[in-house]
Structure 1
Amino acid sequence: MNWLYLSIAIISEVIATSALKATNGFSNLVPSLIVVFGYGLAFFFLSLTLKTIPVGIAYAVWSGAGIVLVSLVGWLVYGQRLDIGAIVGMALIVVGVIVLNVFSKAVGH
């Protein structure tokens, strides 16, 4: 369940972060409510995750997945483009998260 909770936290955070642009400085009600609810849900499920997964590992997975997913949403929804440096940088983050999960004894499997 711990990895499911972390996945829900990540997805909630990605939804909230993606809606943040549409709030227009929190002047649009519906996107603002999505942001507040999404971050609340994200932190609730992250707190459940931290009962079994070390905070550093959980945060590494959270941030790595979040960076890639928010960038994907930015591309698909907002038409934002990434250059080769951004893509390589994100690939290195993903590789780092994989190395953490495969080779580190700190990860609670």
Structure 2
Amino acid sequence: MLLVAIAAEVIATTALARSDGLTRLVPSLITIVFYCFAFWCLAIVLRTVPTGIAYAVWSGFGSVLITLIAWVYYGQKLDVPAMLGLSLIIAGVLVINLFSKTAAH
């Protein structure tokens, strides 16, 4: 369910970037609907996963996905420090999920 929440948040954020300050109807509606859905999914996750762990995974994985979408589809440039930072985020999410006893599996 956390992956569904992350995917919904990534869709919402991508649409938000295309909404022109929430002035374009379709991207604005996509943003609102998918953010609501993402938070609903996250609320369900928080029943069983500690808030800090869930939010670390949510924000880390979401940030990496948003950046990859911007790089692949919108031509955003990534320099070496940006790629290194994204790699560290991925490593952090993996450490939490693979080794932490506080993360629910």
- TM-score (normalised: structure 1): 0.92
Deviations 1:23-64 (A, max 9, x none): 101110000000000100000000000011111111111111
Where in structure 1 do 4 or more consecutive aligned residues deviate above 2 Å? none
What's the counterpart of residue 25 of structure 2?
29
- 1:8-23 to 2 correspondence within 5 Å? 8-23=4-19
Equivalent-residue separation in structure 2 for 1:11 and 1:102 (angstroms): 21
What residue in structure 1 maps to residue 99 of structure 2?
A: 103
Distance of 2:82 and 2:76 partners within structure 1? 12
Identity of aligned residues (%): 52
Tell me how many residue pairs correspond in the alignment. 105
Q: Report what 2:77 is aligned to.
A: 81
- 1:62 pairs with 50, 53, 58, which one? 58
Q: Kindly report the root-mean-square deviation, in angstroms, between the aligned alpha carbons of the 2 structures.
A: 0.8
Cα distance, 1:89 vs structure 2: 0.3
